[in-house]
Amino acid sequence: MKSKVIKGIVAGIVIIALGVGGYFAYKTFFAKKTVASAVQYYTVSARKMNLNVTVQGTGTAYAAVTKQVTANNTGTIKDLNVKVGDTVTAGQKLFVSDSDALRKAVTTAQNNLAKQNLTLSSDQSAEKVDANRVAMDKLNVSDAQTQLNEAYTNLNNMTVKAPIGGVITAVNASNGDSSQSSGSGSNSSSSSASSSSSGGVLTIVDMNSIKIKLSVDELDIEKVKAGQTAQVKFDAIKDKTFEGTVETVAAVGTTSNNVTTYDVVVGIKDPAGIKLGMNGNVTISVESKQDALVIPAEALVDNNGQKFVRVESASTTTSAQSSSNNSTSDSNQQAQTNNTQNTNGNKTASNGKNSNGGYGQRNSQGYGNGSNAARGMATTASSGRLIAVKTGMETENYVEITEGVTEGEKVLVQLPQTTTTTNSNRSGQNSAFGGNMGGFGGGMQGGFGGGQGGQRSNSGSTGGKN
């Protein structure tokens, strides 16, 4: 009985030992740790450049001057010879709204005038001239003349002329159709009824009056003022930019999905080639400055409303370079140690050559310098020192510095921080892959070079022992 209890206790201890050992083995060889990389900065120089603050939006081209041409009288349409797409000039004949009633009105007015003239002549030649009667006759003659003039005017107005120059965009009637007066002349923009269409007979658009209307967000609308210049680009017109001017800014906005926008109308200086309905991208210049001292927007540090920039210090740079040199020296020494161990471990010529972890180190240094050179920046692990500044204009990419930084002075810009996941058994892996993490960090090519060399040297070392 005692032996069974002892065996059970021993078995339990063994199981517990295996469990604890397995846990620590997992933590040692497989568990991953997340390590935050050191904060890195690159330097840029404050410089002068022209700044231009803009507000952008999209809109649709439309014509500010559009006329619907209607008949001046009820009649029958004749001599309608224009079609959609034709260009007409102001005063050009478009069609005739023929009316027999107007011709009869002219004849009636002519007869009435003749009658009144005969009456006047008779009263003036009477033996006893009645002055009152003669005065009345003269009034009647004047009225008859006025009626005749109106009849002639109405007869002439049967011929409808273009109220503006432009392009015919719609023809809603044909010869022989009946037309009705709009009651407001040929310049009316309202429609009149006809047997062929419920709209005007013709529609003319002044293509020189093309404008673009865009919606500007409420956060930007205060920057936009009438008279500001703008540039307009249309998706359908390649490689051409149109000049424009802000003409009107709406005082009342439109709200949709809790977002309020305001209509802004931009007139286009030379709209040749633009078609109605084209979609355009508008850039309004709301503020500009020549030779402003600027730094990248990322270089500005905002702390509780106070603005700062980091500037480079000589001691910081020297310390960073010294640290970098020490790190490089340590890596080179480690690589040399690995090379010696690899050579002693295996005298085979091929393995001896491939085991040179130093190639990885040289690739590491080359990649670092090449990367910095490509960016045109020098990196440092130091945060330098903060100095207070005053700012002026701001764009998406640049900030104007009005006080605190001089032209050419270097400021630090923080690079994005990244984290790396590493295995806890670094010592074994470093040895296995050439003993030099600098080789892997130097780029995929250098890293794999160092790694392969280390693997071959380990294999050679095992062969030596055997």
Q: Encode pLDDT of 39-58 as tens digits.
A: 788 889 899 999 888 999 99
* pLDDT of res. 20: 73
* pLDDT of res. 358: 36
User: Do 246 and 302 meet the contact criterion of CB atoms below 8 Å apart?
Assistant: no
Mean pLDDT for 448-458 is: 39
CATH number of the structural domain 54-63+207-289: 2.40.30.170
User: Do 293 and 401 meet the contact criterion of CB atoms below 8 Å apart?
Assistant: yes
Mean pLDDT for 199-210 is: 90
* pLDDT of res. 321: 45
> Which phi-psi region, left, alpha or beta, contains residue 305 (left: φ > 0; alpha: ψ -120 to 50)?
left
Mean pLDDT for 8-24 is: 75
* pLDDT of res. 127: 84
H-type alpha helices, 305-422: 314-345, 349-354, 358-375
- Give the residue with greater pLDDT, 111 vs 370: 111
Q: Picking from 174-188, 239-253, 258-272, 348-362, which range would have the lowest pLDDT averaged per residue?
A: 348-362
- Residue whose C-alpha is closest to residue 74's, from 191, 195, 179, 193: 179
Q: Encode pLDDT of 75-88 as tens digits.
A: 999 999 999 999 99
Mean pLDDT for 302-307 is: 87
3-state secondary structure of 192: coil
Q: What angle do CA 60, 65, 68 make, to 5 degrees?
A: 110
- Give the residue with greater pLDDT, 17 vs 195: 17
User: Do 271 and 210 meet the contact criterion of CB atoms below 8 Å apart?
Assistant: yes
- Give the residue with greater pLDDT, 395 vs 186: 395
Residue 190 has pLDDT above 50, yes or no: no
Mean pLDDT for 355-364 is: 36
Kindly state the DSSP code that residue 194 receives in the 8-state scheme.
Answer: B
* pLDDT of res. 366: 34
pLDDT band for position 182 (cuts 50, 70, 90)? low
* pLDDT of res. 15: 81
Tokens 């022992």 belong to residue: 465
User: Do 410 and 312 meet the contact criterion of CB atoms below 8 Å apart?
Assistant: yes
Global confidence as pTM: 0.55
Q: What DSSP letter does each residue of 35-97 carry, written as one string?
A: EEPPP-EEEEE-EEEEEEEEEEEEEEEEES-EEEE--SSSEEEE-----TT-EE-TT-EEEEE
* pLDDT of res. 347: 41
Residue 23 has pLDDT above 80, yes or no: no
Q: Quick one: what percent of the chain has pLDDT higher than 90?
A: 47
Mean pLDDT for 144-164 is: 95
Mean pLDDT for 122-126 is: 89
Domain residue ranges of the chain, discontinuous segments joined by +: 54-63+207-289, 70-203, 426-454
φ, ψ of residue 315 to 5 degrees: the values are -65, -35
3-state secondary structure of 18: helix
Q: Picking from 209-213, 247-251, 263-267, 306-310, which range would have the lowest pLDDT averaged per residue?
A: 306-310
Mean pLDDT for 428-436 is: 41
User: Do 223 and 286 meet the contact criterion of CB atoms below 8 Å apart?
Assistant: yes
Mean pLDDT of the chain: 76
- Give the residue with greater pLDDT, 249 vs 370: 249
* pLDDT of res. 12: 76
Distance of CA 153 to the CA centre of its chain: 56
3-state secondary structure of 159: strand
> Which phi-psi region, left, alpha or beta, contains residue 397 (left: φ > 0; alpha: ψ -120 to 50)?
alpha
Tokens 């020098």 belong to residue: 378
